[in-house]
Chains A and B, each alone.
Chain A
């Protein structure tokens, strides 16, 4: 690297220390510039997420006229891979490599899968729409093509995120972890927001050729971001026992799972609360905008601002959580407070319908985003803190598996529950279908609060653990 770019990067890093809330994450071991670079993998994951559930969802239905049930099926395919995150994380823990890398090979494979999926996806979508000559072929060609493309992207995305988070956890010193978690979440959100805006602008005048260049551009961007993120990050630990030693017998997933769930008290309880809490915070995901439109009669422009309000709440939540947790607060306590805050937030959204108040709705949306930010940050930090060093991949993989599956199931269930209830009691439609989903979320939040209280008491019983909550509980 030449002198100019070195000094440029230094000045960026200095500017960052001054203007970014996460500057404290940078110590001698892990400077901010390197941490920001690593977090680029979250940008590529955010981009893939937006493209799958947002942009392509719309393009397939509006521009390509693909039937809605096929679109729904394709978009939900990546969820199939969510439970395998635990297995991927475990495999990266026990991966033996002559080069001494545990995480890089998996992030690289994930990058190739996501790249490959995006590279063939536009052709698959065009065939799926039956355009061009495709109508002469069996529809199965399009279904299989689209399915393979979506599966590849989904598998790659889950792989990159799971192992990437494990790598971040490896690199960060224990007291840095809350800030690292905050930065990772913020970069995911930024990746989603920025790429949604970019894809939206690029695809205004839709043509098939444009679709091909935009999606394949996303493929190249994935490769680009992840290469920069990975470059010189993971230290090489040359193989244990020298060149010619036979590879150690790796523990099986079953062994690792037993020692993981027995090693730390409350591991299973923590996963259950993460699952229930995530369901509570994600069921409204696709219902907030139509609620604003149909019940409160907001315009399209103002419901779009609503999504921004939700994201803003999330950013504030991540920021506050990073600050509080790095001062040594108990991450379980913070997550539980997030769940507690969610209850009045959902009540505000429910009350917006009888009062016909857009203000109550906006406040409620902001508060839901904020509370969800606190909850997500608290649970991920707790997971990182309590993960034994040899099982970090497994711990973060299980967290991700529970979190992603719960969110996927909750979103699908919320949509279905709204349809069924509004169909069953049409005299109360449209508001009742929405408010009953929100009420269920309040119930789930209360369940989360109850499920989490023993975790809290456990850390209160040992005050020295609470005080140094950001230090790892056990090696």
Chain B
């Protein structure tokens, strides 16, 4: 990474990301959490069908 990014006032340290870059990463994290929530609900439903709470 070039040296001039160190002096860029838009960058927030220690990560060196701008707010918009950080927001994009955040979007990926949130999307991932949503997808896994849906998959987890579906998997729990299937597990319930196979063996209702292990009874």
Whether, in the assembled complex, A424 has its beta carbon less than 8 Å from a beta carbon of chain B, the answer is no
Query: Is B39 in contact with A119, judged by CB distance below 8 angstroms?
Result: yes
B31-45 contacts to A (CB < 8 Å): 32, 35-36, 39-40, 42-43
Q: Tell whether A127 pairs with B49 under 8 Å between CB atoms, given A99-B24, A99-B25.
A: yes
Q: Which residue of B lies closest to A120 (CB)?
A: B43
Q: Interface 1/0s, chain A 147-174, versus B by CB < 8 A?
A: 0100010000000000000000000000
Q: Interface 1/0s, chain B 20-32, versus A by CB < 8 A?
A: 1101110010001
Name the A residues within 8 Å of B46 (CB-CB): 120, 123-124, 126-127, 141, 145
Q: Which residue of A lies closest to B51 (CB)?
A: A132
Whether, in the assembled complex, A134 has its beta carbon less than 8 Å from a beta carbon of chain B, the answer is yes
Q: Tell whether A133 pairs with B10 under 8 Å between CB atoms, given A99-B24, A116-B35, A148-B42.
A: no
Interface size on A, residues (CB 8 A): 23
Name the B residues within 8 Å of A132 (CB-CB): 50-51
Whether, in the assembled complex, B12 has its beta carbon less than 8 Å from a beta carbon of chain A, the answer is no
Q: Interface 1/0s, chain A 235-265, versus B by CB < 8 A?
A: 0000000010000000000000000000000
Instruction: State how many angstroms separate the Cβ of B17 from the closest Cβ of chain A.
Output: 8
Whether, in the assembled complex, A131 has its beta carbon less than 8 Å from a beta carbon of chain B, the answer is yes
Query: Is B49 in contact with A137, judged by CB distance below 8 angstroms?
Result: yes
Query: Is A123 in contact with B24, judged by CB distance below 8 angstroms?
Result: no
Q: Which residue of A lies closest to B1 (CB)?
A: A236
Query: Is B39 in contact with A116, judged by CB distance below 8 angstroms?
Result: yes
Give the CA-CA distance A152 to B32 in the complex, in Å.
14
Q: Give the residue of B25, B42, B43, B52 whose beta carbon is less than 8 angstroms from that of A133.
A: B52
- The winner among A97, A98, A134, A137 for most chain B CB atoms within 10 A is A98
Q: Tell whether A243 pairs with B20 under 8 Å between CB atoms, given A116-B36, A126-B50, A134-B49.
A: yes
Whether, in the assembled complex, A112 has its beta carbon less than 8 Å from a beta carbon of chain B, the answer is yes
Instruction: State how many angstroms separate the Cβ of B31 from the closest Cβ of chain A.
Output: 8
Instruction: State how many angstroms separate the Cβ of A59 from the closest Cβ of chain B.
Output: 16
Instruction: State how many angstroms separate the Cβ of A297 from the closest Cβ of chain B.
Output: 42
Give the CA-CA distance A134 to B43 in the complex, in Å.
14
Query: Is B39 in contact with A243, judged by CB distance below 8 angstroms?
Result: no
Whether, in the assembled complex, A432 has its beta carbon less than 8 Å from a beta carbon of chain B, the answer is no
Whether, in the assembled complex, A413 has its beta carbon less than 8 Å from a beta carbon of chain B, the answer is no
Query: Is B50 in contact with A134, judged by CB distance below 8 angstroms?
Result: yes
Name the A residues within 8 Å of B25 (CB-CB): 99
Query: Is A112 in contact with B18, judged by CB distance below 8 angstroms?
Result: no
Q: Which residue of A lies closest to B25 (CB)?
A: A99
Q: Interface 1/0s, chain A 433-462, versus B by CB < 8 A?
A: 000000000000000000000000000000
Query: Is A108 in contact with B28, judged by CB distance below 8 angstroms?
Result: yes
Instruction: State how many angstroms separate the Cβ of B50 from the closest Cβ of chain A.
Output: 4
Whether, in the assembled complex, A266 has its beta carbon less than 8 Å from a beta carbon of chain B, the answer is no
Query: Is A243 in contact with B10, judged by CB distance below 8 angstroms?
Result: yes
Query: Is A133 in contact with B51, judged by CB distance below 8 angstroms?
Result: yes
Query: Is A98 in contact with B24, judged by CB distance below 8 angstroms?
Result: yes
Query: Is A141 in contact with B49, judged by CB distance below 8 angstroms?
Result: yes
Q: Tell whether A133 pairs with B49 under 8 Å between CB atoms, given A112-B32, A119-B43.
A: yes
Whether, in the assembled complex, A105 has its beta carbon less than 8 Å from a beta carbon of chain B, the answer is yes
Name the A residues within 8 Å of B10 (CB-CB): 243
Q: Interface 1/0s, chain A 102-120, versus B by CB < 8 A?
A: 0001001000100010011
Name the B residues within 8 Å of A148 (CB-CB): 42
Give the CA-CA distance A390 to B13 in the complex, in Å.
33
- The winner among B23, B25, B42 for most chain A CB atoms within 10 A is B42
Name the B residues within 8 Å of A137 (CB-CB): 49
Query: Is A120 in contact with B49, judged by CB distance below 8 angstroms?
Result: no
Name the B residues within 8 Å of A120 (CB-CB): 39, 42-43, 46
Q: Which residue of B lies closest to A116 (CB)?
A: B39
Q: Which residue of B lies closest to A148 (CB)?
A: B42
Q: Give the residue of A97, A99, A116, A133 whose beta carbon is less than 8 angstroms from that of B50.
A: A133
Q: Which residue of B lies closest to A108 (CB)?
A: B28
Give the CA-CA distance A112 to B20 in the complex, in Å.
23
Given contacts A119-B40, A132-B50, 6 further A-B contacts (CB under 8 A): A98-B18, A116-B35, A120-B42, A123-B50, A141-B49, A145-B42
Closest 4 CB pairs of A and B: A123-B46, A120-B43, A116-B39, A132-B50
Could you list 13 A-B pairs, sorted by A, with CB under 8 Å? A97-B24, A98-B24, A105-B28, A116-B35, A119-B40, A120-B42, A126-B46, A127-B46, A131-B50, A133-B52, A141-B46, A148-B42, A243-B18
